[in-house]
Amino acid sequence: MQNIKAQVHLPTRALAEDIHFFTKTLGMRMERIFPADNPRTAVFSGHGLRLRLDASDAAPGTIAILADDPVLIAGGAAEMTAPGGTRVMVEPLDPPLVQPPTEHAFVVRRLADQAPWVVGRAGMQYRDLVPSRLGGAVIASHIRIPQGGPVPDMVHFHKVGFQLIFCVKGWVDVVYEDQGLPIRLAAGDCFIQPPEIRHRVLFASDGIEVIEIGVPAEHVTEIEHAMTLPTETLRPDREWQGQRFVHNVGAKGHWAPFRIPGFQARDTTIAANTRGVAAVMVARPDGTPIPWTTHDADILFSFVMSGGMVLEGQDADPARLSPGDAFVIPPGMPTRYAEVTPDLELLEVALPGMFRTGIA
């Protein structure tokens, strides 16, 4: 079997001085140096990196060293420049998740406005439902796979505070860490993917469509090469950062009065299983009058799954909505769901899960 080693090449304008910097300051090991009489190249290894420095006047490069405790590297320096010009960044290996403050706004996003579909991870098509992302607080995506079949996905996880997958059309098979055999998510069903739960999308029907909500908007997806799914263990009560995995089956839901008079709703149990981080409801009209209301949630997102309505808002033009449309109502803004059709069905996602609704 042949021996293969990859290395990064960087220029240096001061090789002799860099030898001391990379071995003594950064704690790397010198593996090679040549030629002996007048060295122009040196190879170092350490911190999971193999690095070759070549004497050159070319523009310097940058390397990043990631550590559980960056303070223990190079005396705690966060940024350094080697004598030969290489820039060195020392950063946390697993930085804490930062939730940006929400920039509240009234948002209406219509499918008919031809918002672009872009190709994202694993060949899936994404449509952005909240382009401003409320200042980075949330991302809401309408995702579809026109041609069903095996999905070219890998075992992965997301570093998020909250993540919802709600199936609008079709079905998809997904396998999750410690949750047994692959699970089929059908139209009307939803998953809560707790932070960093390992999972893999396996197979999808033709025309599958899901709504994915992630908090914060920008979060890291990491590939998990060491784990094979399904795992041998079955732990339905396991928690990840205080949240449990949820597979809510819409057909088994119980309908009860909604927070807005004139509607009834089924609870997906997500508020209980995330300890109030978020709540997810499916709402439909019950035929009684619908008043103007306000709310005090930080984020209140809704997606029209079927039927139609007119969204009226204080100081805003009425918006006629149909399936595929989405909207965000900021806290304190009076709104009314008017001219609702009997077949209207709304997906509502609120963060936090407990908030107040007032009659305006």
103-112: average pLDDT: 95
Percent of the chain predicted with pLDDT > 90: 82
Distance between CA atoms of residues 171 and 165, nearest Å: 12
Give the residue extent of every domain in the chain: 8-92, 112-247, 252-359
Residue 122 pLDDT > 80: no
Would you call 140 helix, strand, or coil by DSSP?
A: strand
Residue type, 311: L
Q: Confirm if 113 and 327 have CB atoms less than 8 A apart.
A: no
Q: What is the mean pLDDT of the chain?
A: 94
Residue 76 pLDDT > 70: yes
Q: Confirm if 114 and 325 have CB atoms less than 8 A apart.
A: no
CATH number of 252-359: 2.60.120.10
103-118: average pLDDT: 89
Pairing of strands 41-46, 29-34: antiparallel
Burial class of residue 236 in the structure, from the number of CB atoms within 10 Å of its CB (0-12 exposed, 13-18 middle, 19+ buried): exposed
Residue type, 349: V
User: Model confidence over 81-97: pLDDT tens digits?
Assistant: 999 999 999 888 888 88
Residue 2 pLDDT > 90: no
Q: Confirm if 92 and 67 have CB atoms less than 8 A apart.
A: yes
Q: How far is CA 128 from the centre of its chain?
A: 13
Q: Confirm if 198 and 335 have CB atoms less than 8 A apart.
A: no
User: Model confidence over 299-328: pLDDT tens digits?
Assistant: 999 999 999 999 999 999 999 999 999 999
Helix segments in 163-286, DSSP class H = 270-273
Residue 67 pLDDT > 90: no
Distance between CA atoms of residues 149 and 189, nearest Å: 20
Q: Confirm if 273 and 192 have CB atoms less than 8 A apart.
A: yes
Residue 160 gets which letter from DSSP? -
Would you call 105 helix, strand, or coil by DSSP?
A: coil
Query: CATH classification of 8-92 is 3.10.180.10, yes or no?
Result: yes
Residue 189 pLDDT > 90: yes
Q: Who contacts 56 (Cβ-Cβ below 8 Å, separation ≥6)?
A: 11, 12, 13
Query: What is the total residue count of the chain?
Result: 360
**Residue 124 confidence (pLDDT):** 76
Helix segments in the chain, DSSP class H = 15-20, 270-273
Distance between CA atoms of residues 119 and 123, nearest Å: 6
Pairwise pLDDT comparison (66 vs 337), residue with the higher score: 337
- Fold classification of 112-247 is Jelly Rolls (2.60.120)
- Least confident range of 31-40, 128-137, 278-287, 329-338: 31-40
Q: How confident is the model at residue 160 (pLDDT cuts 50, 70, 90)?
A: very high
Distance between CA atoms of residues 132 and 139, nearest Å: 9
Distance between CA atoms of residues 15 and 34, nearest Å: 11
Closest by Cα among 96, 134, 188 to 297: 134
Q: How confident is the model at residue 14 (pLDDT cuts 50, 70, 90)?
A: very high
**Residue 15 confidence (pLDDT):** 95
Distance between CA atoms of residues 230 and 234, nearest Å: 9
Tokens coding 271: 């508020």
**Residue 1 confidence (pLDDT):** 75
Q: Confirm if 126 and 151 have CB atoms less than 8 A apart.
A: no
Q: How confident is the model at residue 123 (pLDDT cuts 50, 70, 90)?
A: low
Would you call 100 helix, strand, or coil by DSSP?
A: coil
Q: Given this chain, do its domains 8-92 and 252-359 carry the same CATH topology?
A: no
User: Model confidence over 226-262: pLDDT tens digits?
Assistant: 999 999 999 999 999 999 999 999 999 999 999 999 9
159-166: average pLDDT: 96
